[in-house]
Homo-oligomer: A and B are copies of this chain.
Amino acid sequence: MLGKCIENVRKCVPLVHNITNYVTVNDVANVLLACGGSPIMSDEPDDVEDITTICGGLNINIGTLNKSSIEGMFLAGKRANELGHAVLLDPVGAGASALRTSTAIRLMEEVKFTVIRGNISEIKTLAHGSGTTKGVDADVADAVTEETLDSAVAFVKALAEKTGSIIAITGAIDLVADADSCYVIRNGRAEMGRITGTGCQLSGMMTAFLVANPDNRLEAAAAAVCTMGLAGEIGWARMQPGDGNSTYRNRIIDAIYNMDGSTLDKGAKYEIR
C-alpha cells in the first residue's frame, strides 16, 4: 500500500542532498520537511562529496544550472553511486537549450539514476536526444491523454528498460514505470501548473520516499506522485474566494505536512498496467 511509503519517510527522516535551481529551492526544502524528510542544499564542487556522503539520497535538478553546479552534479552523482544512495534526475528544461539537453544526457551516461522524473517533453528529449520543450513546460502536442495512453505506457516502460531507471512522467495523467509495470496516476489538478516548481517539489519529496523505502522503489516513486497530486486536491478544497496561486502553494505544502498513510491510501487514484 502506498500509505506505508509516506509513513516510512516520517519514521526514517531521510536526509536528502539537493543540487537544485534557485527559483524553487525554498519550496523544495519546505516540502521535504513537510513530508518528514530533512533537506540540505549544496552545489559547490568542493562541498558536494562530503555533503552527499552524510545523506541518504541525492536530488539533481538542472534548472538554473551553471558551470560550477554542473561540475558539482557529476561529483555528487558519482559519489552517491559509490555509496549506493538513491539518486534522482529532474531534467528541467531539457530540450529548451543545448546545454540543458547535453548536461542531462551526459549525466545519464555517467551517473546511475534510481529515478528520472520530468514532464513528457523533457523525457522525450532524453529518449530521442532532442525535443520541443516549451521553456520549462511540456509541449501540448506531447501531452499524455486517455487517447495516447497506451503508447505512452509502452514508451515509458521501454525507456525504463533501456536506462535501467524508474521513469516518472508527470502531467494531467502521471506515469511511473520500470521495465515491467507502470503506475497510471490520476491525482492532482490542472491549477498546480500555475504554481512555480510543483515538479521540483515532487522531485525532492520523491527522493526522500526512495531513501525511506529501499526495497520498494517503484511503489515509493508512485506514492510520492500520489502524495503531491492528492495534496493538490486537498489544498484546492481549502481555497477561499480571492485566493490564487500563492495561497494555493502554501495549502499544497500544508496538505503534505498533514498527510498520513491512511489519507494517502484512501485518496490515491491509480491503476497498474
Contact = CB atoms under 8 A, between A and B. Distances in A.
Interface of A: 15, 21-27, 29-30, 33-34, 38-44, 46-47, 50-51, 54-55, 63-68, 93, 96-100, 134-137, 194-197, 234, 238, 242-247, 249-258
Contacts of A42: 64, 93, 97
Contacts of A99: 44, 46-47, 50
B242 A258 contact: yes
A233 to B, nearest CB: 13
Nearest to A65: B44
Considering residues A15, A43, A66, which has the most beta carbons from chain B within 10 angstroms of its beta carbon?
Answer: A66
3 A-B pairs with least C-beta separation:
A244-B257, A244-B254, A50-B97
Given A44-B64, A47-B65, A242-B251, 13 more contacts: A15-B134, A21-B41, A23-B26, A33-B245, A38-B134, A50-B96, A50-B98, A51-B96, A51-B97, A234-B242, A243-B254, A244-B256, A244-B258
A248 B56 CA distance: 27
A254 B50 CA distance: 37
8 contacts: A30-B249, A34-B244, A40-B96, A44-B99, A244-B255, A244-B258, A245-B254, A246-B254
A139 B66 CA distance: 33
A110 B230 CA distance: 49
B196 A30 contact: yes
Nearest to A253: B246
A26 B29 contact: no
